[in-house]
Amino acid sequence: MLLGLKHNPKLFPAIILLWWGTVFSLYAASPQIVDAKPYDDGFVIASSDGMLYWTDIDGVHMDSVNLKTEIAGIEVTDGSVLAVSPDCMILKVERNGKSKRLCRRQITNDVDKAVGIACSGKKTFILTEYGTILSTDDNCKSFTALDFNGTYFLYYDHTRFRAICASDNSIFIAGIHDDGSPAVFTSTAGNIWSERTLTYTESGQTLSLEHQPLSMAYDSRMDRFVLGCTDGWLFYLPGCSHCNSIEKKSDTDITAVAQNDCFILCQ
Amino acid sequence: MGALAFIALPMSAQETVPVYKNTSYSFEERAVDLVSRLTLEEKQALLGNNMAAVPRLGIKQYNVWSEALHGVLAGANASAGLQGPTSFPGSVALGSTWDPDLLELEASVIADEARAIFQTGTKGLTFWSPVVEPIRDPRWGRTGESYGEDPFLAAVMSSGFVRGMMGNDPLYIKAVPCAKHYFANNSEFDRHVGSSNMDSRDMREFYLYPYKELIEKDNLPSIMSSYNAVNHVPTSASALYLDTIARRTYGMKGYVTGDCAAIEDIYTGHYYVETAEEATAAGLKAGVDSDCGSVYQRYALSALEKGLITEADMDRALVNMFEIRMRTGEFDPVTKVPYNLYPASTVNSERSQAIALEVATRTPVLLKNEQVPGKTNKALPISLKDIKSIALIGPQADRVELGPYSGRPEQSSRTSPYAGISKYIADKGLDIEVTLASGGSTKSKSNLLYVAYFDLEKADGSKSHHDATKYSSSSDGITVGSGMGTEEQVRSIDDGSWTAYENVDLINVDKITIGANIPTEGGIIEVHVGSPEGNLISTIEATRASGKRVGGVYGASTPMEGKVNRLGYNGPQTLYLVYKAPEDDEIAQDVLDAARKSDVAIVFVGTDENTATEEADRLTLNLPGNQVKLIQAVAGVNKNTIVVMQTLGCVEVEDFRNLENIPGILWTGYNGQAQGAAIPLVLFGDVTPGGKLNATWYRSVKDLPPITDYTLRAENGKPGRTLWYFTKPVSYEFGYGLSYTTFEYSDFIISKSSITPNDKITISVNVKNTGNFDGDEVVQIYVTTPDSPASLQRPIKRLKGFKRVTIPRGQTRLVEIEIDCADLWFWDLKSDRIIYDSGRYVFEIGSSSKDIRGTVSANMNGRFNPQLKTVVADCRVSVMEIGQTAQTQTSACLTDDSFIGLDKATVKYVSSNPAVASISASGLLTAVGPGIATITVSVTYGGKTVSDTYSVKVNADLSLATLKNAGKSLLKRGRNQFSVLGKGASKVTATAKSPQLSVNVEQAPKVPGTAVVTVSEPVTGDAQVYYVNFGTKGVSDEFNSNSLGSQWNVIRRNDDNLLLADGRLEITAETGDINGTSDNAANLVLQSANTDWTIETKLQTSAIPASAQNAGLVAYQDDSHFVKFVYAPAAFRRGQQQAAAPAAPASGNLQFYVEENGSSKSTVSVNLAEAGVKNNTICLKLDKEGSIYTAYYSVDGKTWIQAGQVEVSLKDIQAGVMACQGVMNMRMGMGGMGMRPGGAAAAPAQQNSAPFKAWFDWFRIKNR
């Protein structure tokens, strides 16, 4: 069913735009929404001040939990929400409000910060802004780390990362090169990374994505990844590597995007 | 556990150039060697077009996908110093030149630009061009990308492109062309799901002919398997099409890429298999080496795990791909590759621009040139001295339409007809008024909309959702498909199309929302009840003009709302969605006024990339928009109306071509960036048009069979296809084209009157230019076989030779055209091979397929003794282990494209290096020793010998046979690091298991010390390093004295921060660390520990480590090689809200960090939140066994918990304790060199104000 967004600004402290092909509603507030993921028949949305909001498919607020810590990204796995803070604290959160700190993983300096968390298969990945990719397959008991920018020094342009997203067999990480151009890399197991071409065709012309990615979602219906970008653009990354497409959704940066039959965009 | 690759090559091994970088080996051998070095995960990551970088092997990232159909597909790239690449005339225009040498020149310049772009690192050298499929049906959306209708023309022109791209270096390829789309991909709307069904005769004679020619004659290095199925088998999953025909029959050596998502289509479009893994297996085993998509890269390993493929299947695909990359010189020294010298300025250089212009003057086809009504002169060329005004009219008059897959030069390099004509007249200093009156539009009326669903909303807010693709009936031609996406949509919607839906509840419905995509211009959706003409209840304008979203041909639907007039329906109704094209605009009066007042009106009309494209065929052959009306209207007011068409191919012209007021019609395909500069040269007579139509121009689309019908011959009332079989009247026949001059043919001669398939004949004719202009003529030779039985339905005629010649006026030129009689074959359905009909072969010589000026003939003796043509040998394995065997599989194909059993031939096998791989007389290959070997398989049949080769890499067994010290064997199974405790002799002797390998022993200079044993394979450069560590017994220390014992060695000692007191060693942490590039930590308290051991300490810190502070145990070779097991911080950082986090005791982490060659190799982290650490005190233990390090911790000193295990080879090891403040050590900015933007190599982390101290109660070491 297609219903409009029932929105309570007190509960949703940021702009939320629910979309099923069109814009249904738009609200403005702060702090910023940083991530969103599909959850059962709805979504779970994280704001930077530590709030998690569960909604139904129409964006109607159902539950919320205050984690009382800054959140960089969330992932849903086995019915629970994994939340990672910028300093790499990983929390496992249940919808009933119970939460458990799994670990706080040291990042090697205090300039870097986690930007997102994603699960693919049995592995959980945490991505930091400067390209450390932490992975764990033992419920966060131990981690291995890949220094992306160091590993691929001289092979891929240096990248500052913004978002990570995964499906069962693909991991996508997105960010910007030093010159500000957008960058997306893909991997199947998190060890070997390929750079994804970010060109698209419009009116017969091949163009390159110019908008910076801020967020990312996996669209399970169409088996594609979707970048939420600056200035309200969505950039679709299907399996076919040069069949990308772009769509303007609003005028404001899309800080979170998720798909669960329909899309939810957060700004 | 973090498992590590342990090898660190000594210099001697590093100096051996690995085979894959050694230019003395063949490219295949090098590719095999490279693939042998890849891990499985790396192999998977390299199976797609986005090939991952593998830094450890120096493999750069590489995108196999690039396009260069008529210019490198790219725009300007200022940061790389590149202009937008030159856009040359496109394929349909080039096909109309009938000049393969000109096309070769164009392709050569494209390749020059490709090389210049490659030099900047922004593109690869593999291009998915050209399109070689013949034009079976002009509605095909990619007609404009093909060279022509007759497969001979398509093949000859493609050959020019392929030669130009590849260059003529005997070793290296300048740019790699890829012929596509293999094969019979001639309808776009169903390409992902459809099957092109045909018999093997049409398949071989028509669809496969260009591929056969290019592979056999031009060594085509790549083909692209198409989306579609042929005879219900996806081409991308067909071993018959790809392996048997392309490789084993035609002999293709190179790589096969799947079209983008073609592998995915195998299971999601064709449902040929059920899963992605099965599709991966189907594609790989059929012979698709690279997946432009992500199925291989996501599912190859799971397919391997399921036993659907073997690693050898992956290897073979990668060898094919890397061999091509190597043939571009990518892995060779820059100075060795002759094509590495193109500067960025090559791109769209003056030379490129000049050639683009030259080609553009040779593409136009003069379709009509008659007297201007009331005048004595012909319409063309326009005599500028006789006119004072020209009106340039039409939507294309001031546009530059480049066409698909083109270079994208800057606007300043693109010349429209208006700009070109204006400049021409200005340059000549002529006083002629040029009026631009664009008028008209090219708005497409084909594929108006894609419709996915409609929702009906009642007054009470309730909704019902309806799948638009589930219609109960529809108008003719409607299709359903999803194209590149997954949303099923109603497609092929033409003006007047409709779809109907029964039993729709319309009670109290107020609103309808239709989910539709606008692929080009859009249309009007009318909602009727009862019939397409029934009551109208809603109208939605779903058009670009109304501001609705245009999703393009790849787009998904967007909701579009309309108000519903209820009209009182109270029961289920049949709803009709009726689709209509927007009304044409009226022809503007000012346009007609401009035409009326001018001496000549030139109407520029055509198609554009919205008319038809990938995914979207034309539903009509009309000129899009209101252009026909425009032409007619202009002709109505100006008797001297010239029509200039630039289209993707045939358009219907019957509505205007015979109008008296249109005495001149000129046509080109998309004519590149110089189209506007070329057109005045042709219109005003500087150049005489000499092009010929590359395809039949049909009178009406209604004359054609359904686009989905891939059979060619007429049957059961269905017309045949192409000039081969089409019998109805046409507007312009294949090969048609006029000239400003005239040509007279005479003296038709054939060199032989009796021929066999083994003959080459020459047909000659004198052609005299009898007109008043210099000009080009294309002499065409068509072959008919009148003696062939009618039941065989041989083609009416086939093109088998042509030559474009320039002949000055008044002069005669002898034109000689050679025909290889082997090319006159037919495919025999019964014997499934090439045959030659016996009897007369008539060679029609003419100016078009109908304008035949003379004939010659010869009698064919159809008896054909086919000779051996193609031998293909492999053993299905590229990488072998010693002792492994593999059976060589050899196929031998004859010139009639049939295979022979090898029992009828003599087969010899020779190994280039029997010490590596021996081969038996029956082709059984045995891996004998390490290295690379190439097997040559020679097949002799009928006195002719043809050979093929394949290469294998036999991995070296780099293990040791003996390793001794003082007569005692040190070897332990699975070990590569060994320890000897004691002060005895340190001399080591070693032998390798494989006698071919060299063993180098670098003895330990003293004890403690390390002997380094390197086993290397001298040919391939493969090497394994073993360490023998000689050490003395360690000395534990309870730290009860006032000074450090003599066993200790303190790195970067600073006594100010080193204290022994209260039975503990106190280290006050200083700025620094040994991680990464920050090799400056002070007070590493170490002692020699160059054996196997267990070390242990009890550690207390003054606070929970903060920021980057850390303290603990270390096993240390140097600052770039060590294992560190430390109590490390929880790294709270700016903005942290620790207090608000869920309840958890304050704690730190344990970090188990390994560094090798200065790079972090592994980090295992243990969260101590639940460990019960009290007073910041924890016991740490590190156990070394060979190269395995195992870390444990304990909060009570009794119960030990394993923290992790890592593997790393260290030598000259010291062990001890350390504490440091740590530093930021990330690769951030500045190219990832460990440099901060400000320039400092490393900067201290934020620290607490109190000094961070670490107290070690003891250090205990137990040697083994």
Query: Residues with Cβ < 8 Å from A88, sequence gap 6 or more?
Result: A104, A105, A106, A107, A113, A114, A126, A128, A134, B1131
Chain A residues 141-160 with a CB less than 8 Å from chain B? 141-145, 147, 149-156, 158, 160
Element (H, E) at B592: helix B589-597
Chain B residues 406-435 with a CB less than 8 Å from chain A? 408
In the predicted model, what is the mean pLDDT of residues A14-38? Answer: 57
Q: Is B824 exposed, middle or buried (0-12, 13-18, 19+ CB in 10 A)?
A: buried
Q: Are strands A205-208 and A199-202 parallel, antiparallel or unpaired?
A: antiparallel
Of A141, A179, A188, the CB nearest to B44: A188
In the predicted model, what is the mean pLDDT of residues A4-9? Answer: 36
Partners of B450 on chain A (C-beta within 8 Å) are: none
In a domain, A1, yes or no: no
Give the pLDDT score at A104: 62
In a domain, A8, yes or no: no
Give the pLDDT score at B1017: 85
Give the pLDDT score at B206: 98
Of A70, A106, A170, the CB nearest to B1135: A70
Q: pLDDT exceeding 70 applies to what percent of chain A? A: 84
Q: Encoding tokens for residue B616?
A: 């979207």
Q: pLDDT band for position B1101 (50/70/90)?
A: very high
Over the stretch A186-202, which tens digit does the pLDDT of each residue have?
A: 999 999 999 998 988 77
Query: Rounded distance, CA B100 to CA B778, Å?
Result: 12
Higher pLDDT, B1108 or A124: A124
ipTM of this complex: 0.89
Q: Encoding tokens for residue B538?
A: 């809603």
Partners of A124 on chain B (C-beta within 8 Å) are: none
Higher pLDDT, B752 or A146: B752
Q: Is B319 helix (H, G, I), strand (E, B) or coil?
A: helix
In a domain, A2, yes or no: no
Higher pLDDT, B319 or A20: B319
Q: Is B1225 on the interface with A (CB under 8 A)?
A: yes
Q: SS3 sequence, B147-206?
A: CCCCHHHHHHHHHHHHHHHHCCCCCCCCCECCEEEECCCCCCCCCCCCEECCCHHHHHHH
Of B45, B1076, B1133, the CB nearest to A110: B1133
Over the stretch B1136-1146, which tens digit does the pLDDT of each residue have?
A: 333 333 444 45
Instruction: Decide if pLDDT at B722 tops 60.
Output: yes
Higher pLDDT, A121 or B751: B751
Give the pLDDT score at B484: 76
Q: For chain B, which domains are there?
A: 38-346 (3.20.20.300), 366-396+415-443+586-689 (3.40.50.1700), 450-580 (2.60.120.260), 741-860 (2.60.40.10), 868-955 (2.60.40.1080), 962-1031 (no CATH), 1049-1263 (2.60.120.200)
Partner-chain contact A101 B1141, CB within 8 Å: yes
Give the pLDDT score at B1227: 37
Instruction: Decide if pLDDT at A105 tops 70.
Output: no
> Order of strands across the sheet with B960-965?
B968-969, B960-965, B988-992
Q: Positive or negative CA dihedral for B304, B307, B311, B312?
A: negative
Give the pLDDT score at B1026: 94
Query: Rounded distance, CA A75 to CA A84, Å?
Result: 9
Give the pLDDT score at B1: 33
Mutual angle of helices B311-327 and B27-36, in 10-degree steps:
130
Distance from CA of B596 to the nearest CA of A (A): 34
Q: Is B1214 helix (H, G, I), strand (E, B) or coil?
A: strand
The CA-atom distances, in angstroms, between B343 and each of B80, B167, B987 are 11, 17, 57
Beta strands in B829-878 (DSSP E): 833-835, 839-846, 852-860, 868-874
**A75 closest CA partner among A131, A121, A36:** A36
Higher pLDDT, B1251 or B900: B900
DSSP B581: P
Instruction: Decide if pLDDT at B664 tops 70.
Output: yes
Instruction: Decide if pLDDT at B5 tops 80.
Output: no
Please list, residue by residue across B239-270, b when 16 or more beta carbons sit within 10 angstroms of its beta carbon and e when fewer do.
Answer: eebbbbbbbbbbbbbbbbbbbbbbbbbbbbbb
Instruction: Decide if pLDDT at B912 tops 70.
Output: yes
Query: Rounded distance, CA A229 to CA A215, Å?
Result: 7
Query: Rounded distance, CA A127 to CA A162, Å?
Result: 8
Query: Rounded distance, CA B406 to CA B936, Å?
Result: 42
Over the stretch B438-489, which tens digit does the pLDDT of each residue have?
A: 889 998 888 899 999 999 999 998 999 999 999 999 999 899 988 877 788 9
Distance from CA of B942 to the nearest CA of A (A): 48
Task: Find tokens 């359905």 and name the residue.
Answer: B829
Chain A residues 88-107 with a CB less than 8 Å from chain B? 88-89, 91, 99-107
Query: Quick count: other Cβ atoms within 10 Å of Cβ A78?
Result: 7
Q: Is A1 on the interface with B (CB under 8 A)?
A: yes
Give the pLDDT score at A30: 55
Q: pLDDT band for position A49 (50/70/90)?
A: confident
Q: SS3 sequence, B273-288?
A: CCCHHHHHHHHHHHCC
Computed over every residue of chain B, the mean pLDDT equals 92
Q: pLDDT band for position A12 (50/70/90)?
A: very low
Partners of A20 on chain B (C-beta within 8 Å) are: 559
Dihedral through CA B566, CA B570, CA B573, CA B578, nearest 10? -10
Instruction: Decide if pLDDT at B307 tops 70.
Output: yes
Q: Is B187 on the interface with A (CB under 8 A)?
A: no
Instruction: Decide if pLDDT at B114 tops 60.
Output: yes
Partner-chain contact B1107 A110, CB within 8 Å: yes
Higher pLDDT, A238 or B1180: B1180
Number of helices and strands in chain B (H, E): 19, 69
Give the pLDDT score at B432: 97
- CATH number, residue A244: 2.130.10.10
Instruction: Decide if pLDDT at B106 tops 80.
Output: yes
Over the stretch B967-994, which tens digit does the pLDDT of each residue have?
A: 999 998 888 899 999 888 889 999 998 8
Over the stretch B158-175, which tens digit does the pLDDT of each residue have?
A: 999 999 999 999 999 999
Q: Is B906 exposed, middle or buried (0-12, 13-18, 19+ CB in 10 A)?
A: exposed
Q: pLDDT band for position B237 (50/70/90)?
A: very high
Over the stretch B368-380, which tens digit does the pLDDT of each residue have?
A: 999 999 999 999 9
Give the pLDDT score at A16: 52
Distance from CA of A28 to the nearest CA of B (A): 24
Of A88, A103, A193, the CB nearest to B52: A193
Among B461-465, B531-535, B597-601, the range scoring the smallest mean pLDDT is B461-465
Partners of B1165 on chain A (C-beta within 8 Å) are: 103, 105-106, 142-143
In a domain, A7, yes or no: no
The CA-atom distances, in angstroms, between B422 and each of B322, B389, B416, B419 are 51, 12, 10, 5
Q: Is A177 on the interface with B (CB under 8 A)?
A: no
Say whether pTM exceeds 0.90. no
Of A70, A141, A169, the CB nearest to B298: A169
Substitution target from B554, B1192, B1230, B1233 for chain A, most A beta carbons within 10 A: B554
Instruction: Decide if pLDDT at B745 tops 70.
Output: yes
Instruction: Decide if pLDDT at A2 tops 80.
Output: no
How many separate domains does chain A show?
1
Over the stretch B129-188, which tens digit does the pLDDT of each residue have?
A: 999 999 999 999 999 999 999 999 999 999 999 999 999 999 999 999 999 999 999 999
Q: Which domain holds residue A85?
A: 16-266
- Which chain B residue's Cα is nearest to A177? B1229
Highest mean pLDDT (candidates A37-41, A123-127, B73-77): A123-127
Give the pLDDT score at A243: 82
Give the pLDDT score at B468: 96
Over the stretch B922-954, which tens digit does the pLDDT of each residue have?
A: 999 999 988 999 999 999 999 999 999 999 999
Partner-chain contact A109 B1245, CB within 8 Å: yes
In a domain, A86, yes or no: yes
Query: Rounded distance, CA B687 to CA B356, Å?
Result: 15
Instruction: Decide if pLDDT at B1134 tops 70.
Output: no
DSSP string over chain A: ---PPP--TTT--S-EEEESSSB------SS-EEEEEEETTEEEEEETTSEEEEE-TT--EEEEEE-SS---EEEEETTEEEEE-TT-EEEEE-TTS-EEEEEE---SSSS--EEEEEEETTEEEEEETTSEEEEESSTTSS-EEEEHHHHTTTTS--EEEEEEEE-SS-EEEEEEETTS-EEEEEESSSSS-EEPP-EEEETTEEEE--SPEEEEEEETTTTEEEEEEGGGEEEEE-SSTT--EEEE--SS---EEEEESEEEEE-
Query: Rounded distance, CA B503 to CA B464, Å?
Result: 12
Give the pLDDT score at B128: 97
In a domain, A4, yes or no: no
- Residues B261, A240: contact at Cβ < 8 Å? yes
Instruction: Decide if pLDDT at B756 tops 90.
Output: yes
Q: Is A63 on the interface with B (CB under 8 A)?
A: no
Give the pLDDT score at A103: 66
Give the pLDDT score at B1076: 72
In a domain, A6, yes or no: no
Give the pLDDT score at A19: 47
Pairs across A and B, CB distance < 8 A = 258
Length of chain B: 1264
Vertex B643 angle, CA B638 and B647, to 5°: 155
> Order of strands across the sheet with A233-237?
A213-219, A224-229, A233-237, A245-248
Q: Is A180 on the interface with B (CB under 8 A)?
A: no
Distance from CA of B487 to the nearest CA of A (A): 8
Q: SS3 sequence, B428-467?
A: HCCCCEEEEECCCCCCCCCCCCEEEEEEEEECCCCEEEEE
Query: Quick count: other Cβ atoms within 10 Å of Cβ B966?
Result: 13
Higher pLDDT, B313 or B613: B313
Partner-chain contact A188 B1144, CB within 8 Å: no
Give the pLDDT score at B1146: 56
Q: Is B1237 on the interface with A (CB under 8 A)?
A: no
Partners of B408 on chain A (C-beta within 8 Å) are: 205-206
Measure CA B153 to chain center: 26
Active site residues of B: 259
Instruction: Decide if pLDDT at B581 tops 60.
Output: yes
Substitution target from A58, A170, A194 for chain B, most B beta carbons within 10 A: A194
Mutual angle of helices B209-218 and B151-166, in 10-degree steps:
30
In a domain, A135, yes or no: yes
Q: Positive or negative CA dihedral for A247, A251, A254, A259?
A: negative
Q: pLDDT band for position B1148 (50/70/90)?
A: confident
DSSP B77: B
